[in-house]
Chains A and B, each alone.
Chain A
Amino acid sequence: MSIMKTEEEVITKEPNLLQGALEDHALPETKLTLPENNVCETEDEYELVYHRPVPLLDVNMHYCPGCAHSLVHKLLMEVVEEMNIQDKTVGVAPVGCAVFAYDYMNIDMTEAAHGRAAAVATGIKRLMPDKYVFTYQGDGDLAAIGIAETLHAVNRGENILIVFINNAVYGMTSGQMAPTTLMGMKTTTTPFGRTNEAYGSPIRMSELISPLPGAFYVTRQAVHNAPSVRRTKKALQNAFKYQQLHKGTCFVEIIGNCPSNWKMTPVESEKFIDYEMVKTFPLGDVKLPKADDLKNLTEGQ
């Protein structure tokens, strides 16, 4: 994987632009220092600072190290736990690396055909309007084969949450070009880099759907560092809550690391998001609900 300006460069110059970027922006090493005597003597001295969200099943995940999927699964289940809506939530898994999402989330879930999650979720939500229904989809799933289902679900303003993991490649099938692949980015099917002539430019789904009146809340986040994880969590919390309002679709795009297919270490992949992905996919809210629309929102359950 590399980012290249011209085809010529791609062929003649290896490694890639990113290499330079990584050197320029090398992060300082962090050292973990523990207090000399950090052993608690009695149970009262323990303070629970973190626990695995109960709705996240305690099993090993199949995701690669540094993959965004596992982190987003955890955030989703944290929100479900905090809102106490495990019994009211139905998820729809995609075809993509997250195809086994239902093996990790202790909620009722349906596995959709490739790209069809928004249609499946429509079927579920229309019949159970008071349930919290979300889809979890990759960029191939949502923005290529499933773009019609996605656009129409949003245009109808289906009261669902669409969690969109944009990792700019087809992860599961091992790194082919996705509709979101960056210009010049090398993938197994764009070995010389994505060109506009052959494939057009990366689709910005959040910007594409946000003008639709059915889109209630559209935001693009990431999970590659602690602040971005916190912001994503907040976005997911909001999106779940907004379903109570029946005002339209919530669309949370998350720029996800795919170190394996980006051919990077997890740390490199974080930097790649910071220095490359965000140029095409700027982070932040794309469409916010009007304050008036949020009046009837009850906190949590």
Chain B
Amino acid sequence: MKGNEALAKAAIEAGCDAYFGYPITPQSEVLEYLAREMPKHDRIVLQAESEVASINMVYGAAGAGFRAMTSSSSPGISLMQEGISYLAGAELPCLIVNVNRAGPGLGTIQPGQGDYFQATKGGGHGDYRMIVLAPSSVQEMADFVFLGFDLADKYRNPVMILSDGAIGQMMEKVTFGKFKSTRYEKPWATVGKSATRERNYITSLHIQPEKMEKHNLKLEAKFRVMKETEARFEEISTGDAEYLFVAYGLSSRICHKAVDLAREKGIRIGLLRPITLWPFPAERLLQLAGQVKFMMSVELNAGQMVEDVKLAVNGKTPVYFYGRLGGMIPTPEEIVHQLETVIHEHHEN
């Protein structure tokens, strides 16, 4: 099954009540699949007039207490940033999927990871955070939909799945039925004020600075809990590792291959794959910094996650970067070659 379709199917199984989207390559399959399948399950699916409209339809549906979702690719996700900020400000849970293509601007429809900053540092305005899940397989495209919706509901906060054009388009085996969808009580939802409760209103507006700061601090407390408890990652061959790749999504798959190739050559390298890009698995990286001679962040961008790796290890170990841009995808051999070059330089210094 295609990554995008696995994700779409998972949305139905995870109890997604409504999907709003706008076509863009390389993720249009999500909208197409759901346009076909959602009505069979009495769910709502709508092709919006723009990504601006999609995200605001999500805002309305999420505010009414429903599981709502949208997906797009980089240029469309840029248009959603205002809405994402409002969702976070108003504490509305929803799932946003970015099947990252390379940019900037219209860029190319080939895969990229150039939206890392936008996703993890808050592409929208104001102080907010959102959990960002980075699948590296078609199976994870499906699994993270369940996880994403649950985390969104748990924290009343938008959650993003940051995938890329390759994971979205590739075909792999995928199994369903591993997870069940959970239903959360949403007494805050705008469903019509019953006589027995106060009115519900959803807003991100707190005009008095005292109240706004209070709201900010409340959000920050929530983000702190996320940071402390929700960091997820996978380790490959780190036990005896002298060197460490840090890579997510598509580049982590290539690095996985590169680890095997390098080990065949006797280079003891491991891989840490962040599954959540925010919160970032900084703690574990700091531990590994005491073990390895250096780390190398491999990304399909000009060097974005590498900044978080550097922050995490805080100078305890050197951090190198290797990246390809514009939709170009490095081969495992290319990465091993880079690794060897850096090892050589490293030992010369």
The interface of chain A, by Cβ under 8 A from chain B, is 86-90, 92-93, 99-100, 102, 105-113, 116, 119-128, 131, 148-149, 152
Task: Please state if B199 and A149 are interface contacts (CB–CB under 8 Å).
Answer: no
Task: Please state if B60 and A123 are interface contacts (CB–CB under 8 Å).
Answer: yes
Contact sample, A vs B, 25 pairs, CB 8 Å cutoff: A86-B192, A90-B191, A92-B60, A105-B199, A106-B193, A106-B199, A108-B189, A110-B201, A111-B90, A111-B201, A111-B205, A112-B60, A113-B59, A120-B56, A120-B63, A122-B46, A123-B18, A123-B20, A123-B59, A124-B61, A124-B190, A126-B18, A127-B61, A128-B64, A149-B49
Chain A residues with CB below 8 A from B61, complex form = 123-124, 126-127
Task: Please state if B53 and A152 are interface contacts (CB–CB under 8 Å).
Answer: yes
B174-227 interface with A by 8 A CB criterion:
189-195, 199-205
Task: Please state if B66 and A127 are interface contacts (CB–CB under 8 Å).
Answer: yes
How far apart sit A190 and B245, CA to CA, in the bound complex (Å)?
59
Select A122's contact among B57, B62, B191, beta carbons within 8 Å.
B57
Mask of B46-78 contacts with A, CB within 8 angstroms, 1/0: 101110111011111111101010000000000
Task: Please state if B56 and A128 are interface contacts (CB–CB under 8 Å).
Answer: no
Q: Which residue on chain B has the smallest CB distance to residue A122?
A: B57
Is B241's beta carbon under 8 Å from chain A?
Answer: no
- Known contacts A87-B193, A128-B191, A131-B192; is A148 also within 8 Å of B201 by CB? no
How far apart sit A116 and B82, CA to CA, in the bound complex (Å)?
11
How far apart sit A90 and B64, CA to CA, in the bound complex (Å)?
9
Q: Number of B residues whose C-beta is below 8 Å from A?
A: 40
Chain B residues with CB below 8 A from A113, complex form = 56, 59, 82-83, 86
How far apart sit A127 and B18, CA to CA, in the bound complex (Å)?
8
Q: Which residue on chain B has the smallest CB distance to residue A131?
A: B192
Q: How far is the CB of B57 from chain A (nearest CB, A)?
A: 4
Q: How far is the CB of B108 from chain A (nearest CB, A)?
A: 27
Chain B residues with CB below 8 A from A106, complex form = 193, 199
Chain B residues with CB below 8 A from A124, complex form = 60-61, 63-64, 190
Task: Please state if B191 and A119 are interface contacts (CB–CB under 8 Å).
Answer: no
- Known contacts A90-B191, A124-B190, A127-B17; is A148 also within 8 Å of B202 by CB? no
Q: How far is the CB of A63 from chain B (nearest CB, A)?
A: 15
B1-49 interface with A by 8 A CB criterion:
17-18, 20, 44, 46, 48-49
Q: How far is the CB of B7 from chain A (nearest CB, A)?
A: 21
Task: Please state if A87 and B56 are interface contacts (CB–CB under 8 Å).
Answer: no
B80-126 interface with A by 8 A CB criterion:
82-83, 86, 90
Task: Please state if B190 and A90 are interface contacts (CB–CB under 8 Å).
Answer: yes
Q: How far is the CB of A54 from chain B (nearest CB, A)?
A: 11
Known A107-B192, A120-B56, A128-B191; 8 more pairs at CB < 8 Å: A87-B193, A89-B193, A108-B190, A108-B192, A108-B199, A119-B56, A128-B192, A131-B191
Chain A residues with CB below 8 A from B205, complex form = 99-100, 111
Q: Which residue on chain B has the smallest CB distance to residue A86?
A: B193
How far apart sit A149 and B83, CA to CA, in the bound complex (Å)?
14
Q: Which residue on chain B has the smallest CB distance to residue A129?
A: B44
Chain A residues with CB below 8 A from B17, complex form = 127
How far apart sit A93 and B201, CA to CA, in the bound complex (Å)?
10
Select B57's contact among A86, A102, A111, A123, beta carbons within 8 Å.
A123
Chain B residues with CB below 8 A from A92, complex form = 60
Q: How far is the CB of B124 from chain A (nearest CB, A)?
A: 10
How far apart sit A92 and B49, CA to CA, in the bound complex (Å)?
19
In this complex, which of B62, B83, B190, B195 has the most chain A Cβ atoms within 10 angstroms of its Cβ?
B190
Task: Please state if B64 and A127 are interface contacts (CB–CB under 8 Å).
Answer: yes
In this complex, which of A106, A111, A121, A131 has the most chain B Cβ atoms within 10 angstroms of its Cβ?
A111
Select B60's contact among A87, A107, A119, A152, beta carbons within 8 Å.
A119
How far apart sit A92 and B191, CA to CA, in the bound complex (Å)?
12
Select A126's contact among B44, B54, B199, beta carbons within 8 Å.
B44
Task: Please state if A116 and B56 are interface contacts (CB–CB under 8 Å).
Answer: yes
Task: Please state if B56 and A148 are interface contacts (CB–CB under 8 Å).
Answer: no
Q: How far is the CB of A123 from chain B (nearest CB, A)?
A: 3
- Known contacts A106-B193, A110-B60; is A116 also within 8 Å of B46 by CB? no
Q: How far is the CB of B334 from chain A (nearest CB, A)?
A: 44
Shortest Cβ-Cβ A-B pairs, 5 listed: A123-B60, A119-B56, A111-B203, A120-B60, A108-B190
Task: Please state if B60 and A122 are interface contacts (CB–CB under 8 Å).
Answer: yes
Task: Please state if B193 and A127 are interface contacts (CB–CB under 8 Å).
Answer: no
Task: Please state if A89 and B192 are interface contacts (CB–CB under 8 Å).
Answer: yes
Task: Please state if B199 and A116 are interface contacts (CB–CB under 8 Å).
Answer: no
Task: Please state if A119 and B190 are interface contacts (CB–CB under 8 Å).
Answer: no
Task: Please state if A109 and B18 are interface contacts (CB–CB under 8 Å).
Answer: no
How far apart sit A127 and B189, CA to CA, in the bound complex (Å)?
12
Chain A residues with CB below 8 A from B86, complex form = 113
Task: Please state if B193 and A149 are interface contacts (CB–CB under 8 Å).
Answer: no
In this complex, which of B54, B90, B201 has the most chain A Cβ atoms within 10 angstroms of its Cβ?
B201
Q: Which residue on chain A has the smallest CB distance to residue B203?
A: A111
Q: Which residue on chain A has the smallest CB distance to residue B205?
A: A111
How far apart sit A139 and B20, CA to CA, in the bound complex (Å)?
26
Task: Please state if B203 and A108 are interface contacts (CB–CB under 8 Å).
Answer: no
Q: How far is the CB of A73 from chain B (nearest CB, A)?
A: 14
Q: How far is the CB of A127 from chain B (nearest CB, A)?
A: 5
In this complex, which of A89, A110, A122, A131 has the most chain B Cβ atoms within 10 angstroms of its Cβ?
A110
Chain A residues with CB below 8 A from B83, complex form = 113, 116
